[in-house]
Amino acid sequence: MGETSLLSCSEVRKQLPNFLNEAVDVLTAQQMRWHIGRCKECRMIVRSAIATFRQFFPEKRTANPLYKTHAA
């Protein structure tokens, strides 16, 4: 994946809406996935946000951005 800068929990939370809407660039998405994969608190926040979104907007079944991969 190349060099990955570290995102703080605060940065992840700020980018979360854009990340869930797949409105971040590839590098940011990779950094978000890397952080979320290693941070239990952020992972719980993301999973909760996805579950809440799906509960209130069941007609908008989009792919989970946590598991999306991009070709380099």
Domain ranges of the chain: 9-62
Apex 29 CA angle, 58 and 13, nearest 5: 70
Q: What is the mean pLDDT of residues 21-40?
A: 94
Q: Give the whole-number percent of the chain exceeding pLDDT 90.
A: 56
Work out the pLDDT band at 62, boundaries 50, 70, 90: low
Distance (Å, whole) CA 71 – CA 27: 11
Please state the three-class secondary structure of the chain as a single string: CCCCCCCCHHHHHHHHHHHHCCCCCHHHHHHHHHHHHHCHHHHHHHHHHHHHHHHHCCCCCCCCHHHCCCCC
pTM (predicted TM-score): 0.74
